[in-house]
Structure 1
């Protein structure tokens, strides 16, 4: 049997790396533009990488892994690490401002169990997206403070402090702060492709 050449190995590895980047990005509820902004790479280049159409340089892989909060080894090997920390300290969580001006804190990205736990701070008149969007998974939202409107398939639900909403993420939805005061919600998402915040 002929030995596998380096180019053949690269051809097999490229789509796998692209798939891993896309999976991690969507699990972290990041758009291509958000990853582009953080990694300082163009969205078109990142799209080509995710589709296995171009070979990213070592520098690009480092930038992408840093922007995603993983190691280069995670992108290449695809091995999922088990989170051994029983407690997540508030001081260890870095808030990230989304493209829609929401302040998001990922408390636990439990990829092994398919759960993402985060809080989102909504300034007045800010929303998760300009229009309702759908993605894979299921989500629960608990209002910690303030008031939010969740539009779910054309129906608006106004939620106040202590209220909980749960729905299939495949249903088009949008979350926005319709008030003049800040609001904070705890989100627990299950499944892949967490696109809404």
Structure 2
């Protein structure tokens, strides 16, 4: 899975929700230049801006982060992990 930067994630979510930059501007109280710089990864949004963006998407900041790093659906089998030089007996 390709690792995306925050601006890439925001752009991806905006497009998935069929939102234009204008829609995001209106819902998150941002300017077009703010959205442009954030989506191009040229500016990292401060917490209040990020909260507004998440509000516009109807998600939490945690959901935004987890959209890039989803939790594993399975637990690794630790019995198959071996320490170097260890004997399992």
TM-score by length of 1: 0.32
* Residue 10 of structure 2: aligned partner: 21
What is the alpha-carbon root mean square deviation over aligned residues? 2.0
Aligned pair count? 68
Alignment of 1:37-116 (within 5 A): 37-77=26-66, 78-80=68-70
Is the strand fraction higher in 1 or 2? 1
List 4+ stretches of structure 1 deviating above 6 A.
none
Is the helix fraction higher in 1 or 2? 2
The alpha-carbon distance between structure 1 residues 22 and 29, as it changes in their structure 2 partners (threshold 3 A), is same
TM-score by length of 2: 0.68
Q: How many Å apart are 1:44 and its aligned residue?
A: 1.0
Structure 2 gap segments, 5+ residues each: 72-89
Query: Which structure carries more relative contact order (alpha carbon 8 Å, separation 6+)?
Result: 2
Distance 1:24 1:34 in 2: 13
Distance 1:25 1:16 in 2: 14
